[in-house]
Amino acid sequence: MLIQWFPGHMTKTKRMIEDHLKAVDVVAELLDARIPASSANPMVEELVKGKPRIVILNKADLADPRQTDRWVSFYRKRNIPVVPMSVGNGKNKKKLLSLIRETAKPILDKWYRKGLKNRSVRLMILGIPNVGKSSLINFLAGTAAARTANTPGHTRGKQWVRLSEGLDLLDTPGVLWPKFDDQTAALRLAATGAIAGDVFNPDEVVPVLLSSLAETEPQVLKEVYHIDDVNQDPQLLLEAAGRRRGCLLPGGAIDYDRAETAVLHDFRSGKLGKITLDPVPEEEP
């Protein structure tokens, strides 16, 4: 399987981001804490070009907290400010706002010396589709400032969102790279819902997801789907999961379509527990 997804509007989005970067002080890169590497857009560093940047590990409530801690250390060792985030968590919100202000302070001090004492911090949030960007903006603003949707590529156009905390956010559509050089990353993006469902085949994504869980989280398969032997062919794991979830056709045969949908829903909703699919890269000697 070769997953490719680069809707035409994303080319326009890339140009728009380049045009508006001069108007912002800080860029926040929003990643999925379950797949920080897979959800990182290779174009971001090129686009930012030295602009102060922070990393937000969103959906941290669905990720393995131990792995999230390791990812935080990974970014901090590279002098990249980072904060785990779960929309709805007030403490997370305070930490994020504090980090944004801290990162923007040198720029605000510069404006202060020029006589602009009450200038707001101008923030741009970049992230691939469906990593929760609109929901995060709504949470920070305390209102439905940006539209939200459960499908990738929903946000269109440009809008500024004024925050009471002295922050102006420039909301832009998510961007995704034009070619998946790493199909493992593509499969993980599909599993988390970052890639539209009509672009990939669940019958190829779900077995890979189950194989990954059998290797890294075998107890999950045992506890949720009552699979004693996780070292089976992924198709047999799917059959066992489908049977456990009641995905059966008349006569007792497995309804594979329903079984695949059930497994994806269980993973995305957190029913399988807090899971991180992307391991932290090993440190170079």
Give the closest residue to 93 by CA, choosing from 174, 165, 172. Answer: 165
Burial environment of residue 23 by CB neighbours within 10 A (0 to 12, 13 to 18, 19 or more): exposed
The answer to the question of whether 8 is labelled as a binding residue is no
The answer to the question of whether 135 is labelled as a binding residue is yes
Please tell me the predicted confidence (pLDDT) of residue 90. 86
The answer to the question of whether 278 is labelled as a binding residue is no
Please tell me the predicted confidence (pLDDT) of residue 103. 93
Instruction: Please indicate, yes or no, whether the overall pTM of this predicted structure exceeds 0.95.
Output: no
pLDDT band at residue 145, thresholds of 50, 70 and 90?
low
How much is the average pLDDT of 210-226?
A: 94
Please tell me the predicted confidence (pLDDT) of residue 78. 92
Q: Does residue 157 surpass a pLDDT of 70? A: no
How is the beta sheet containing 53-58 ordered, strand by strand? 82-84, 53-58, 26-32, 121-126, 167-171, 159-163
pLDDT band at residue 31, thresholds of 50, 70 and 90?
very high
Q: In the Cβ-directed half-sphere of 276, how many Cα atoms lie within 13 Å?
A: 22
The answer to the question of whether 196 is labelled as a binding residue is no
Report the distance separating Cα 38 and Cα 181, nearest Å.
Answer: 11
> Packing angle between helix 256-269 and helix 183-192, nearest 10 degrees?
80
Cβ(225)–Cβ(266) below 8 Å: no
How much is the average pLDDT of 50-56?
A: 93
The answer to the question of whether 214 is labelled as a binding residue is no
More confident site: 135 or 155:
135
The region of weakest confidence among 65-69, 171-175, 203-207 is 171-175
How much is the average pLDDT of 36-42?
A: 88
The answer to the question of whether 134 is labelled as a binding residue is yes
pLDDT band at residue 148, thresholds of 50, 70 and 90?
very low
Give the closest residue to 28 by CA, choosing from 48, 56, 51, 50. Answer: 56
**Which of the residue ranges 67-71, 153-157, 206-210 has the most confident prediction, judged by mean pLDDT?**
67-71
Cβ(277)–Cβ(189) below 8 Å: no
How much is the average pLDDT of 23-34?
A: 92
Give the closest residue to 209 by CA, choosing from 31, 37, 34, 32. Answer: 34
Neighbour tally for 228: CB within 10 Å: 8
The answer to the question of whether 19 is labelled as a binding residue is no
Share of the chain above pLDDT 90, in %: 46
pLDDT band at residue 6, thresholds of 50, 70 and 90?
low
Cβ(160)–Cβ(236) below 8 Å: no
pLDDT, tens only, 231-269: 999 999 999 999 999 999 999 999 999 999 999 999 999
The answer to the question of whether 79 is labelled as a binding residue is no
The answer to the question of whether 38 is labelled as a binding residue is no
pLDDT, mean over the chain: 84
Domains and CATH numbers, the chain: 8-171 (3.40.50.300), 201-269 (1.10.1580.10)
Report the distance separating Cα 285 and Cα 282, nearest Å.
Answer: 9
Report the distance separating Cα 165 and Cα 167, nearest Å.
Answer: 6
How much is the average pLDDT of 2-29?
A: 75
Q: Does residue 74 surpass a pLDDT of 90? A: yes
